[in-house]
Amino acid sequence: MNLIKALYLLLLIVIVGGCSPSPSDTVERIPFVEQLIGQMTIEEKVGQTAQITLDVITKGDDPYSSYEPLQMDNERIEDAVANYHVGAVLNTANNRARDIHTWHQVVSSIQNVATENTRLKIPVLYGIDAIHGGTYTAEATMFPQQIAQAATWNRDLVYQAAKVTAAETRASNIPWNFSPVLDLGGDARWPRIWETFGEDPYLISEMGVQMIKGYQGKQLSSATSVAACVKHFIGYSTLASSGKDRTPSEISDISLREYHLPAFQKAVEVGAASVMINSGLVNGVSVHGSHNLITGLLKKELGFNGLVVTDWADVENLHNRDKVASSHKEAIKLAFNAGIDMSMIPYNYVQYCDLLVELVNEKEISMERLNDAVRRILNLKYKLGLFDTPVVKPNPDIFSKTHNKIAYTAASEAITLLKNKSELLPLSKSKRILVAGPNANSMRTVNGGWSYSWQGEKAEEYAMEYNTILEAIENKFGKTNVVHVPGVEYNMHGRTYMDEHKVDFNAAVKAAKNVDVIILCLGENSYTEKPGDLNDLTISENQEKLALELANTGKPIVLVLNAGRPRIISGFADNMTAIIQTYLCGNHTGDALADILSGDVNPSGKLPYTYPMFNNSLGTYYHKHSEESKTPEGMYNYEGGFYQQFKFGHGLSYTSFSYTNLQVSQNELNNNTELSISVDVKNTGERAGKEVVMLYSADLYASLAPDVKRLRRFNKILLNPGETKTVTFSITANDLSFINALGQRVTEPGDFELTVANLSKTITLIK
Q: Give the model confidence (pLDDT) of 441-454 as tens digits.
A: 999 999 999 999 99
- Position 652 scores a pLDDT of 98
Q: Does residue 415 surpass a pLDDT of 70?
A: yes
Query: Is the same domain home to 429 and 369?
Result: no
- The 3 state secondary structure assigned to 535-548 is CCCECCHHHHHHHH
Inter-residue contact 582 to 410 (CB < 8 Å): no
Q: Does residue 7 surpass a pLDDT of 50?
A: no
Residue 725 to residue 456: CA distance in whole angstroms: 42
Q: Does residue 604 surpass a pLDDT of 60?
A: yes
Q: Percent of the chain having pLDDT more than 70?
A: 95
Domain that holds residue 539: 416-604
Domain boundary among 543, 575, 604: 604
Task: Give the tens place of pLDDT for each residue, 96-122.
Answer: 999 999 999 999 999 999 999 999 999
Q: Does residue 438 surpass a pLDDT of 50?
A: yes
Q: Does residue 40 surpass a pLDDT of 60?
A: yes
- Per-residue pLDDT, averaged over 399-424, amounts to 98
pTM: 0.96
Query: Is the same domain home to 118 and 173?
Result: yes
Looking at the domain assignment, is residue 616 inside a domain?
no
- Per-residue pLDDT, averaged over 53-72, amounts to 94
Query: Is the same domain home to 308 and 434?
Result: no
- Position 636 scores a pLDDT of 61
Share the mean pLDDT of the chain: 94
Query: Is the same domain home to 376 and 435?
Result: no
Query: Is the same domain home to 360 and 447?
Result: no
Looking at the domain assignment, is residue 360 inside a domain?
yes
Looking at the domain assignment, is residue 3 inside a domain?
no
Band of the pLDDT at 721, cuts 50, 70, 90?
Answer: very high
Query: Is the same domain home to 544 and 677?
Result: no
Looking at the domain assignment, is residue 633 inside a domain?
no
Looking at the domain assignment, is residue 74 inside a domain?
yes
Domain boundary among 604, 629, 647: 604
- Beta-carbon contacts of 391 under 8 Å, excluding residues fewer than 6 positions away, are 104, 107, 108, 111, 173
Give the CATH number for residue 190.
3.20.20.300
- Position 637 scores a pLDDT of 61
The yes-or-no answer on residue 311 being catalytic is yes
Residue 105 to residue 393: CA distance in whole angstroms: 10
Query: Is the same domain home to 380 and 477?
Result: no
Query: Is the same domain home to 433 and 573?
Result: yes
Looking at the domain assignment, is residue 635 inside a domain?
no
Q: Does residue 9 surpass a pLDDT of 50?
A: no
Residue 740 to residue 747: CA distance in whole angstroms: 9
Band of the pLDDT at 591, cuts 50, 70, 90?
Answer: very high
Task: Give the tens place of pLDDT for each residue, 481-501.
Answer: 999 999 999 987 766 777 899
Task: Give the tens place of pLDDT for each residue, 173-217.
Answer: 999 999 999 999 999 999 999 999 999 999 999 999 999 999 999
- Per-residue pLDDT, averaged over 506-513, amounts to 98
Q: Percent of the chain having pLDDT more than 90?
A: 91
Looking at the domain assignment, is residue 217 inside a domain?
yes
Domain boundary among 397, 427, 461: 397
- Position 626 scores a pLDDT of 87
Band of the pLDDT at 2, cuts 50, 70, 90?
Answer: very low
- Beta-carbon contacts of 248 under 8 Å, excluding residues fewer than 6 positions away, are 239, 240, 280, 281, 282, 284
- Position 243 scores a pLDDT of 86
Q: Does residue 313 surpass a pLDDT of 70?
A: yes
Residue 184 to residue 205: CA distance in whole angstroms: 10
Band of the pLDDT at 643, cuts 50, 70, 90?
Answer: confident
Task: Give the tens place of pLDDT for each residue, 287-300.
Answer: 999 999 999 999 99
Query: Is the same domain home to 151 and 211?
Result: yes
Q: 80-90: buried (b, 16+ CB within 10 Å) or exposed (e) per residue?
A: bbbebbbbbbb
Q: Does residue 21 surpass a pLDDT of 90?
A: no
Query: Is the same domain home to 376 and 446?
Result: no
Work out how many domains the chain is built from and give that number.
3
Give the CATH number for residue 481.
3.40.50.1700
Task: Give the tens place of pLDDT for each residue, 539-557.
Answer: 999 999 999 999 999 999 9
Q: What is the DSSP letter of 599?
A: T
For the range 251-259, what are the long-range contacts, defined as Cβ-Cβ under 8 Å and sequence gap of 24 or more? 251/282, 251/283, 253/739, 253/743, 254/704, 254/739, 254/740, 254/741, 254/743, 256/282, 257/739, 257/743, 257/745, 258/201, 258/738, 258/739, 259/184, 259/186, 259/201
Query: Is the same domain home to 294 and 430?
Result: no
Looking at the domain assignment, is residue 315 inside a domain?
yes
Query: Is the same domain home to 347 and 461?
Result: no
Give the CATH number for residue 665.
2.60.40.10
Q: Does residue 8 surpass a pLDDT of 80?
A: no
Catalytic residue among 311, 341, 533, 595: 311
